[in-house]
Structure 1
Amino acid sequence: MNSNIREHMEVIGADGVHIGTVDRMEGDRIKLTKADSGMGSHKGHHHYIPASLVAGVEGDRVRLSANADVAVDEFEEEEGDPT
Structure 2
Amino acid sequence: MTDVSAIKEHMEVIGADGVHVGTVDHVEGERIKLTKKDSGAEIEGAEGSHAGHHHYISLGLVAGVEGDQVRLSANADVAVEIFEEEA
- TM (norm. structure 2) is 0.87
The answer to whether the Cα contact below 8 Å between 2:23 and 2:35 also exists between their aligned partners in 1 is: yes
Q: Distance in 1 between matches of 2:17 and 2:52?
A: 24
More helix by share: 1
User: Shift of the alpha carbon at 1:74?
Assistant: 1.3
Identity among equivalent pairs (%): 77
Listed one character per residue, the Cα deviations across residues 9-68 of structure 1 (whole Å, up to 9, x for unaligned) are 000000000000000000010000001023261011100000000000000000000000
Long gaps (5+) in structure 2: 42-47
| Count of aligned pairs between the two proteins | 79
Structure 1 counterpart of 2:37: 35
Long gaps (5+) in structure 1: none
The one-letter code sitting in structure 2 at the alignment partner of 1:74 is: I
**Which of residues 3, 12, 15 is equivalent to 2:5?**
3
User: Shift of the alpha carbon at 1:7?
Assistant: 0.2
The answer to whether the Cα contact below 8 Å between 1:37 and 1:44 also exists between their aligned partners in 2 is: no
Aligned-residue RMSD, C-alpha = 0.9
**Which of residues 64, 70, 73 is equivalent to 2:72?**
64
**Which of residues 73, 76, 83 is equivalent to 2:81?**
73
- TM (norm. structure 1) is 0.91
